[in-house]
Structure 1
Amino acid sequence: MKQNNQHIDEQFLFSILEGTSSDQDKQQFQEWMQADSANEENFLKMQKIWKSSKEIEVFQKIDEEADWKIIKAKSGKTVRLKKVNLFMRYAATVLVLLSLSLVYLYQTTPGFGKYAQTKSMQTKDKIVLADGTEVFLNKKSKIIYPKHFNSDVRNVEMEGEAYFQVKPDPTKPFIIKSGNAIIEVLGTSFNVKNEMDGATVVSVNSGKVSLKNQETQEVIYLTKGEKGILYDSFITESVNNEPNFDSWKTGVLRFKDMPIPLVFKYLENFYNVRITNKCERLDTLKFNSYFDNASIDEVITELELHLRVKTVKKGNHLIISDKKK
């Protein structure tokens, strides 16, 4: 898997702002801006602060012509000293503003300072954090994380879906912020998914995980084989009867006495296809099978064999109908 890390060095951005960058740097900068809308948004914030620091009110009040007349009417050494002191004060003001602005950007802006950001698009990504934790990102997902874990906790933020294999460290809890959910672990493996309706689903594969609602502070604890769902202001916990919660990562699809309509939904999501079922008798049948990183053509072959159907494939559209005798 190719890692899609959106980090770019801050000195590089300074050269862009100052207009001292090379053509090659400018090309790299454009690619960085186009890689993620968040990059463009953060740079525009930085650019605004940069421009504001050069146009602060104290500079706007300077009347250069009037000041020069005063300077000529006074003695050279004294006036030169006052002129230097005046501009040193202006320069110090600019330096303070720039320093505060850059410290703020360094502390808060992913891809600029101490935080890095990885965003997957049409492919899945795997990243390894500074502590050795492995994170697998599903398509169209994002994670923001420190380049180094220097505090007594390991904090990250994520959107979309990700599978975590957290490196055990009893002295530093691993905390994930996702939507309105806070997930805390010491060392375990689990899946976190933001559903389209706003729910956050945590499915535990090993170890123990806590799931907390930021608003109500309600907490539940989940162990292997359990899942928790945070939706609106409610948290529920249950046995995880979802056999394919991590199939996007493992490539394995499991079907045991599963109704055919539900099987088709899994196949649509996994293979990014659309299935039209024209064989009504399938709605009452159940399906048993196990696919390990199988191609869609291999799945179609098995469906046709076991269900006695015919499949017409038109691009990403599968049309299933009864097989003529």
Structure 2
Amino acid sequence: MRDTIIISLLQKYIKDQCSEQELRTLLQWLKSPDSHAGLDSVIQPLWDAIDRDMVQPTSERETELRKEVSSLLSKIEHKNKSANTSVRNKNRLNGFYRIAAILILAFSVTFGLLKIYDRPQQMITYTEKISAKGEKKSIRLADGTKIILNSDTKVRIPNNFNKEERTIEIEGEGFFDVTPDPDKPFVIKSGEAQVKVLGTSFDFKSYKEDEFIKLTVSTGKVRVNVADQDLQLAVSPNEHLSINKIDGNVRKETIEENNYIKWIHGSLYFNKEPIREVIKTINRTYNRKVILQCKDCDYRITGTHDNKSIEAVIEAICFTTGLRSRLEGDNIILYDKH
């Protein structure tokens, strides 16, 4: 019963509705040693309600809260001006302040004196830009950054992009020309990989089904982080980085000519590329299905194919590897002659 009375007095106090006698009763309860023992039983149900129902207040409301707590402490201090200033009483008074701060926050949130914010937190929504198999697409972001998307690529752009940060997600390949902004680094997320830049141009390739993550920098400097491999690397202009997602092998090389962005102009470039990865690129580029059927397909392909038909590319691969090809419906089958 007494707990119920104390709760009622606390509510009235925060609403500034306490009479002088009620205020005296409340302060006496806070001062009494018994209040410490009963505090948990009064407060615990309130904390449970807060954990269940409270939404984080805004910064403006947090400022109001601080003022309310400060006001309460000032009133308690005023009422205790004539109190004995011994060390023991000072320590006790500090304890009262702490309790008062807890109580005003707990009761304010629980009983609506700090409004329970029922409006939903701002939801992050995404706009998707997609280039289908066999096509390329150019997009421009809100900060002026330009991206050329390679075939079968998806970019997800949050609705808060360029407000407090510049972060996007990509699955596929894109050439980025990032608008400089030293206060807001440009971040690209793709699976476990993350690329961070301030303002630069580079090609980033990260298809989910591919064995490799690749990055080729044209201008500026790019930092790459791969979380599951605990890997952080800086890549400078005219450097090409290749990360094997399976075994974690990393290869960085300096290049004289950036052939890795020839896809922008419709060409294919392979540099000692495993044939299985080459087939994936061909399938995406031409929107056709090439199927590899051979026992030991440990071939590596090197070469440039400038705006050639898929038939011409397959013929060149067969000439290099000794494989043969045949049509099955719309599919192209690559097989060995053994």
Q: TM-score, normalization: structure 1? A: 0.48
Q: TM-score, normalization: structure 2? A: 0.47
